[in-house]
Structure formats: structure tokens, C-alpha cells
Amino acid sequence: MTQVLLAIIGLSSGFAVAGGVFALVLSLKLLPHLAGITHTAKHIFLYEDTILLGAAIGNIISIFEPSVASAAGQPILLLFGLFAGMYTGCLAIALAEVLNVIPIMMRRAKMQKGSGIVLTMIALGKCVGTLAQFYFHWLP
């Protein structure tokens, strides 16, 4: 009985967290924004399906904790890291865009030009920091 109760609590908690994440992605209008930028609005259902598939696979990996490194090898881990980083970066930039962080920062710094350079440097800094973290095995 205890195991059943723990399973129900765990599933309910997982549903609540997943619902919160999807609500954040929807409220940021991340998918329509990306589809508009890339001119691929006709594939919006494919975007939604791949996000749901990724969430389902992520949940399975989280629950059963398979050894992905030994089962799939380094190329699959590299591909997973690339896509996870792209998703995290898009989510962070979308959140910053919704909160108007970039324009406010540019106005406070009294910058008239160079917003593209600033955004590129932010992205490169995130990339270099992530690579250094994985290379030197630094903990967050």
C-alpha cells in the first residue's frame, strides 16, 4: 500500500511539474515565435509533437536511469547535449524577451548601436561557460 501511495504522489508531482513547464513554454509563445522567425509555421504541429516526445523520453530516462553513455555511445550524448542546450538557450532568450530585459539593459547602458553584438557575446559566453563546465566537471 505504501508503494502504491508513493507511486501516486510521484506521478502527481511529475504531472504538476510538467504542466508548469509546458505552461511556461506556452505563455512565452516560444513555438509560434520560433516558427515565425524560421518561416516554418506549417510545421507547428511537428514542433509540438517533438517537444512532447522529448518530455516523455526525458521522463523515462529520469525514472529508469539507464546508462545512456554505454548504451548509445558518445555521438548520441553529443547530439542530446546539443539539442538540450538549444532548447535551454531558446527558453532563456524567450524569457528575457518577454521581460524586455535586453532593451532595458541597452537603454540603461546608453547603447545606441551594437545590440546584435551584445546578444552574440551573451550566446558565446553561455556556450563557452557550458563547455568549460563539462570539460572541467564543475558543478553548477
Q: What is the pLDDT of residues 96-115, one digit of tens each?
A: 776 677 777 778 888 778 77
Nearest to 98 by CA among 37, 44, 18, 24: 24
Domain membership of residue 65 as a residue range: 2-72
pLDDT at 16: 78
The answer to whether residue 32 is domain-embedded is yes
The answer to whether residue 55 is domain-embedded is yes
The answer to whether residue 29 is domain-embedded is yes
Answer whether 53's CB lies under 8 Å from 120's CB: no
Cell 501511495 locates to: 5
pLDDT digits (tens, 9 = 90+) for 27-42: 777 778 778 878 888 9
Q: Which residues of the chain have pLDDT under 70?
A: 67-72, 98-99, 138-140
The answer to whether residue 95 is domain-embedded is no
Q: Compute the Cα dihedral for 120, 126, 62, 94 and give only its sign.
A: negative
The answer to whether residue 125 is domain-embedded is no
Please state the domain count of the chain.
1
Contacts 24+ apart (CB under 8 A), 60-63: none
